[in-house]
Amino acid sequence: MRTAHSVADVRAAEAALIAELRRTGPGEDVLMNRAATGLATACAGLLGRVYAARVVLLVGSGDNGGDALYAGAQLARRGARVDALLLNPDRAHARGLAAFRGAGGRVAGDAEVLDRADLVLDGIVGIGGSGGLRPDAAELVLRAELGGGLIVAVDLPSGVDADTGEVVGAAVHADVTVTFGTWKPGLLIDPGASHAGAATLVDIGLGDHLPDPAACALQDADVLVPFGWLLPTADKYRRGVVGVVAGSKTYPGAAVLAVGGALRAGAGMVRFAGPGRVADAVRAAWPEAVVTDGLPSEAGRVQAWVVGPGLGTDKKARRRLAEVLDSDVPVLVDADGLTLLAEAGGSERSAPTLLTPHAGELGRLLQVGPAAVEAARLTHARRAAARYGATVLLKGSTTVVVPPDGPVRVNPTGTPRLATAGSGDVLAGLAGTLLAAGREPVDAAATAAYLHGLAARLAAEPDGAEADLVAPGPVTATDIVAALPAAWRHVAGA
Ligand SMILES: NC(=O)C1=CN([C@@H]2O[C@H](COP(=O)(O)OP(=O)(O)OC[C@H]3O[C@@H](n4cnc5c(N)ncnc54)[C@H](OP(=O)(O)O)[C@@H]3O)[C@@H](O)[C@H]2O)[C@@H](O)CC1
Ligand SMILES: Nc1ncnc2c1ncn2[C@@H]1O[C@H](COP(=O)(O)OP(=O)(O)O)[C@@H](O)[C@H]1O
Ligand SMILES: [K+]
């Protein structure tokens, strides 16, 4: 699990560690030097040959600039030509600057050095920042980006909000980010995540002093939950029976895809309830589904419901949604179900509820526009979780899952390949089965998003999960359903 902490928690951990270090002896700037050593090592690796490389430091007036200066000093000692552009010369980190000068680093009088740089270190601002870059900083960053050297962000790309990933105004687009002590949520969540480039973590010893994380990103090993279908004692009821209420005359495909996602997630049984023609489409595509063209209350017992994909918003859809929401089992509400829920202003459920909106649907739930949601994904997902007393999975460029309390989950496997009609229906079925198998909504949602992204990558490039890097092939929602078993195999290491 990749874990990220809030700025407040990082600062508290830093203070506790520094107090401990003071008791045991080491002097000033120990942590900064640890950070700088990790940073200089990363830069040396990127440069290949440090001797005679041209490195430029963009140095703000806080400790982030101090990190850049100490790292610059190490690179200068190894023979790099290092120039520092000080945004506020009177307030640059004094000891860092002295070390930098002492190692042969030079303070540049002109931004021209950026035009020929092999590597630019962005030490303008780190976790102490607020808002986008100020105009003088933004101008230097633009020149650095045009210069064509590699841009390495110190701790996080300047201008990105460390706690939320929000970017208000200009921010650095880094090729690489070297972060210290722990991940910051803003490095995992878009738009911040897409400013960070390839990000790496340098351990500076904060570990024992850090509390529970603010956000986590699953990795393959975290998905290795007991595979229900492998347990010797498995039977179809214990593996989980999921009910799907989806589709309409206009959107029968949504039902077929949601049922497909549910089946390929390993359900013991999928019960489907929908109107005649939709029921026929589901029967034809998935003979293993148990289908009724009656109401959800006539479908038989289930351990979780999925309601909403392609459902429509007419009277019949409302009735179906109401029946499902009245049940005492976990319910996942998606798509048209969310539109109806927004209209009703919520529900009176006491059993767990998982909402899976995209930005437009989340906007409707909160009566704000989709652009506002996209710009502040975590903030809006949190607001919806609080207002609806539910776990919220917000889909899009970075899928985030916000439980009513506890750490947020951020999905690392997402790919723009998923942005194809019907792929959300597959995700709903997939997450619904995991709910029916007894997983907590936050785990069901995060695991489903992880497998969903992985399946899209594997559908594009069956030999590897890194398809975004190597193969540009598109995938359809049906392809994602078909690739789900391969995604399970991938996380199992098979
Ligand atoms: N915590 C740890 O464990 C460790 C932390 N370490 C390092 O310390 C960093 C935090 O340092 P920090 O607290 O000094 O704040 P920092 O990020 O340098 O920013 C403050 C300066 O930025 C300025 N500024 C603000 N907003 C701005 C904007 N939008 N655009 C432009 N400028 C802006 C603001 O200016 P002012 O408002 O004062 O004029 C102020 O001068 C952290 O990220 C990590 O790198 C490591 O050394 C190892 C251990
Ligand atoms: N830019 C993107 N990067 C990664 N994933 C994306 C992106 N855009 C959309 N997705 C994913 O694609 C899926 C689309 O779902 P949704 O919007 O509900 O579509 P539909 O209703 O057509 O099924 C979601 O899982 C979402 O997270
Ligand atoms: K920075």
CATH code for position 164: 3.40.50.10260
pLDDT value of residue 234: 80
398 - beta bridge partners?
none
Residue 210 Cα to ligand 3 middle (Å): 22
424 lines ligand 2 (CB under 6 A): yes
Judge whether residue 28 has pLDDT over 80. Answer: no
Look at 397-406, 461-470, 473-482 and tell me which has the smallest mean pLDDT.
461-470
Binding-site residues for K(+), please? 64, 122, 158
Residue 130 Cα to ligand 2 middle (Å): 30
Judge whether residue 27 has pLDDT over 80. Answer: no
**Do residue 472 and residue 386 come from a single domain?**
yes
> What is the CATH number for 242?
3.40.1190.20
**Do residue 187 and residue 146 come from a single domain?**
yes
Which atom of ligand 2 is closest in space to residue 254's alpha carbon? Answer: 23
**Do residue 53 and residue 172 come from a single domain?**
yes
- In this predicted model, what pLDDT tens digit does every residue of 222-234 receive, in sequence order? 886 656 667 777 8
What does the pLDDT average to over 160-171? 95
**Do residue 72 and residue 157 come from a single domain?**
yes
pLDDT value of residue 43: 98
**Do residue 240 and residue 123 come from a single domain?**
no
- In this predicted model, what pLDDT tens digit does every residue of 289-306 receive, in sequence order? 999 999 999 999 999 999
pLDDT value of residue 245: 98
Phi, psi of 333 (to 5 degrees): -110, 130
Which run of H or E residues covers position 290? Answer: strand 290-292
Contact 124, 87 (CB under 8 A): yes
E strand segments, 128-261:
150-154, 176-180, 198-202, 215-217, 241-245
Provide the domain count of the chain. 2
What proportion of the chain, given as a percentage, has pLDDT over 90? 87
Which atom of ligand 2 is closest in space to residue 426's alpha carbon? Answer: 23
pLDDT value of residue 494: 55
In angstroms and rounded to an integer, the radius of gyration of the C-alpha atoms of the chain is: 25
In a mutational test of the pocket of ligand 1, which residue from 69, 127, 167, 206 has the highest number of ligand atoms less than 8 Å from its CB?
127
Judge whether residue 467 has pLDDT over 80. Answer: no
Judge whether residue 409 has pLDDT over 60. Answer: yes
**Do residue 201 and residue 225 come from a single domain?**
no
Q: Which ligand is nearest to the CA of 195?
A: 3
Instruction: Give the distance from CA 103 to its chain's centroid.
Output: 40
pLDDT value of residue 389: 95
**Do residue 148 and residue 294 come from a single domain?**
no
152 - beta bridge partners?
121, 176
- In this predicted model, what pLDDT tens digit does every residue of 210-225 receive, in sequence order? 999 999 998 888 886 6
What does the pLDDT average to over 474-493? 93
Judge whether residue 111 has pLDDT over 70. Answer: yes
What does the pLDDT average to over 398-420? 93
Handedness of CA 45, 49, 51, 52 (dihedral sign): negative
How high is the mean pLDDT of the chain?
94
Which tops the pLDDT comparison, 108 or 465?
108
pLDDT value of residue 229: 67
Binding-site residues for AMP, please? 395-399, 424
**Do residue 165 and residue 60 come from a single domain?**
yes
Contact 426, 436 (CB under 8 A): no
**Do residue 169 and residue 254 come from a single domain?**
no
Judge whether residue 86 has pLDDT over 60. Answer: yes
In a mutational test of the pocket of ligand 2, which residue from 356, 374, 418 has the highest number of ligand atoms less than 8 Å from its CB?
418
409 lines ligand 2 (CB under 6 A): no
What does the pLDDT average to over 4-11? 97
**Do residue 288 and residue 364 come from a single domain?**
yes
Judge whether residue 472 has pLDDT over 80. Answer: no
Residue 158 Cα to ligand 1 middle (Å): 9
Contact 118, 155 (CB under 8 A): no
Which atom of ligand 2 is closest in space to residue 334's alpha carbon? Answer: 18
Which run of H or E residues covers position 280? Answer: helix 276-285
Judge whether residue 255 has pLDDT over 70. Answer: yes
- In this predicted model, what pLDDT tens digit does every residue of 322-369 receive, in sequence order? 999 999 999 999 999 999 999 999 998 999 999 999 999 999 999 999
Which residue in this structure is represented by tokens 């619904």? Answer: 432
Which of 194, 216, 238 is the last residue before a domain boundary? 216
Distances (CA, A) of 190 to 205, 384, 434: 27, 18, 26
Residues spanned by the domain of 406: 220-491
DSSP state of 189: S
Judge whether residue 141 has pLDDT over 80. Answer: yes
**Do residue 178 and residue 262 come from a single domain?**
no
Which tops the pLDDT comparison, 462 or 200?
200
Which of 186, 216, 246 is the last residue before a domain boundary? 216
By the 10 Å C-beta count (0-12 exposed, 13-18 middle, 19+ buried), 482 is classed as middle
Which of 181, 216, 251 is the last residue before a domain boundary? 216
Rounded to 10°, the helix 423-436/477-491 angle is 40
Judge whether residue 151 has pLDDT over 70. Answer: yes
**Do residue 209 and residue 295 come from a single domain?**
no
368 - beta bridge partners?
none
